[in-house]
């Protein structure tokens, strides 16, 4: 019952957010579970498409990386297995479809992302014809200040641990605004709206996903 009550409140929040995102030219799909999210994405990718992905724990949790590898009718630009990572990033910029998550989404309907290489935010901004941004309810924040706080206190440090980076946040447990060669926080991008209506499609999931 406790989880049902939390889900009910979160659903109301996501419904309000969906309206804001739609007002900002984003397409929006709201689902309850990660299984529904995975099924939606699988059904949305046309046969014969090329697909690129951003580094994302959410995509792993949805099983989409393994699914893409098993689809003979889809050309998956597999950044995880290609020897030339730079080439994978470049090819993904010209993909038909790009999949990613977002570090935070504000209740104003803005996407907030911080990148190391910049390949993920570059594809979000321009290149692929269709971008799907899948985000769990834990990524939803009040405003840009909260989005910044979320990255510095949660997403940044945890992703540094995940990637085995020897940056100060790994030792401190929070962002130290470091200027190290190994920092993964180089590109800060706020997407206020989708320049082409519906090109960026946000899939909101009423479960916690990723960091």
From the first residue on, what is the mean pLDDT of each consecutive set of 10 residues in the chain (211 residues)?
93 98 98 98 98 97 98 97 94 97 98 96 97 98 98 95 95 94 96 98 98 92
Amino acid 174: pLDDT = 95
Amino acid 5: pLDDT = 96
2-205: CATH topology: Rossmann fold (3.40.50)
Write the CB contacts of 164 (distance below 8 Å, at least 6 apart in sequence): none
| Count, residues in the chain | 211
- Confidence (pTM): 0.96
* 27, 134, 151, 181, 187 from 9: Cα distances, Å: 22, 20, 24, 42, 33
- Break the chain into its structural domains and give their ranges: 2-205
């Amino acid at each position: 019952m406790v989880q049902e009550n939390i889900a009910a409140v979160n659903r109301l929040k996501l419904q309000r957010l969906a309206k804001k995102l739609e007002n900002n030219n984003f397409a929006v799909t709201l689902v309850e579970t990660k299984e529904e999210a995975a099924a939606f994405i699988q059904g949305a990718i046309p046969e014969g498409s090329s697909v690129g992905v951003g580094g994302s724990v959410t995509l792993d949790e949805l099983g989409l990386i393994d699914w893409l590898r098993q689809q003979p009718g889809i050309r998956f630009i597999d950044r995880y297995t290609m020897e030339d990572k730079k080439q994978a990033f470049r090819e993904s910029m010209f993909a038909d479809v790009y999949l990613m998550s977002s570090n935070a989404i504000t209740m104003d309907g803005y996407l907030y992302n911080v990148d190391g290489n910049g390949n993920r935010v570059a594809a979000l901004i321009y290149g692929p014809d269709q971008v799907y941004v899948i985000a769990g309810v834990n990524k939803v924040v009040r405003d840009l200040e909260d989005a910044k706080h979320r990255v510095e206190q949660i997403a940044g440090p945890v992703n540094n641990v995940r990637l085995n980076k020897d940056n100060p946040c790994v030792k401190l447990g929070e962002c130290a605004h470091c200027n190290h060669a190994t920092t993964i926080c180089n590109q800060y991008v706020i997407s206020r709206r989708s320049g082409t209506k519906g090109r960026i499609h946000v899939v909101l999931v009423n479960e916690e996903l990723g960091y």
